[in-house]
A = this chain, B = another copy of it.
Amino acid sequence: MQKSDTFTLLSNPSHYVPRLIADGVAYTDLQNIWNDQEITSMEIWCEKWMNLALEYQSYGEEDLNDGFEIAAGENFWRSSLYNHYGQFLLWHNQMLKGEAMNRKVANYKKAAKLFTPPAERIEVSYESTFLPGYLRIPIRSKRPPCVLLLGGLESTKEESYLFENLCLARGLATFTFDGPGQGEVCKDIRARPDFEKAASAILDVLENRSDIDKTRFGIIGRSLGGYYAARSAAHDGRIRACVAWSVFFKFDFWDRMPRGLKDGFLYVSGKNDEDEAKVYYKSFTLEEAAPKIRCPLYILQGRLDVIFPPEHAELLAREVRGETTLDIEERGTHAAQNLAHVVRPRMADWMARKLA
């Protein structure tokens, strides 16, 4: 069987492995699947992860029986994560993708209650549907600041557990949600250039909570979410600090993207062909928004990023008016995922300091 282009993309370990590891895939599991000769397509890749996810689901249930609640939570979380990474680049098999997504969501719901601190699921009404998210508040904190965490093209709210932990350890509450084009929301609302409206709808709800401080919101978005975060910071003054964890200034790199990635952008926008999508994504731009960003902004970009050009980060830094930190990691790949262990704690520290 010939490997599809998407699968070829995935077969590039230096691009995906560091991210999957940093977000919680166990090294031995990744190693086993990577070396599995039976995997010759994204479908088989997906099924293998789904099977492994079932094992972790069983571990979680056993742990619950034994009274090991925190261990159970981590196993349900890992089950969710493996279903997620099974389907994350599978754009052409809706049945399989849908089943994996359902299991991802269901296992995360079970895990959320068992986390320390727990994650409270909140569904925020939005247009004809709702935006689902998880709120976590540092243990024994008193009205802490709160950071919105945004995924990107194919990353969703279930992928941020470990990054949430970094924030929580620094006294920050976290709210991680699916917006237009992401996770549970994608079937109802496709990706939109004005993601800031979704972020504002979230803040409308969060600012009425008595257990977080409504004067200290931050936002961190990675990859396509870096663009979303910058847009949100430009349009909503309640956001007091913003991290663009990789970003583009305008969508002028369509032609340079590999096939599999284009498929992803087509999928989340619901466009049927490349020409249509290419025009649509031209509306994804920070040209007007950038000068409106007044809050402190931290931009992290990898010099070796082959998706979002590093020059875009430099351009954004020039266009904003407020305090800006431009961190171009010379050895960093996309979102500097290969340096996750260095850049993630630093971004979390920066945010904690800005919202202190």
Measuring CB to CB, which residues of chain A are less than 8 angstroms from any residue of chain B? Answer: 17-18, 21-22, 26-28, 31, 59, 63, 66-71, 74-75, 78, 116, 139-140, 169-170, 338-342, 345-346, 348-350, 352-353
Partner of A28, one of B67, B169, B338: B338
12 pairs of residues in contact across A and B, judged by CB atoms under 8 Å: A17-B27, A21-B21, A28-B338, A59-B342, A66-B346, A67-B349, A67-B353, A68-B353, A71-B345, A74-B345, A75-B345, A116-B170
Which chain B residue lies CB-closest to A352? B70
Chain B: minimal CB distance from A117 (Å): 10
Partner of A345, one of B22, B28, B68: B68
The answer to whether B27 and A339 have CB atoms under 8 Å apart is no
The answer to whether B170 and A70 have CB atoms under 8 Å apart is yes
The answer to whether B70 and A349 have CB atoms under 8 Å apart is yes
The answer to whether A348 and B26 have CB atoms under 8 Å apart is no
The answer to whether A349 and B68 have CB atoms under 8 Å apart is yes
A170 to B74, CA, bound (A): 13
Contact A341/B169 with A18-B27, A27-B18 known, Cβ cut-off 8 Å: no
A74 / chain B contacts, CB cutoff of 8 Å:
341, 345
A31 / chain B contacts, CB cutoff of 8 Å:
17
A353 to B28, CA, bound (A): 28
Partner of A27, one of B27, B169, B342: B27
A21 to B54, CA, bound (A): 24
Chain B: minimal CB distance from A347 (Å): 9
The answer to whether B349 and A75 have CB atoms under 8 Å apart is no
Which chain B residue lies CB-closest to A353? B67
Contact A71/B116 with A339-B28, A341-B78 known, Cβ cut-off 8 Å: no
The answer to whether A26 and B349 have CB atoms under 8 Å apart is no
A139 / chain B contacts, CB cutoff of 8 Å:
139-140
A26 / chain B contacts, CB cutoff of 8 Å:
340-342
A340 to B75, CA, bound (A): 12
The answer to whether A349 and B169 have CB atoms under 8 Å apart is no
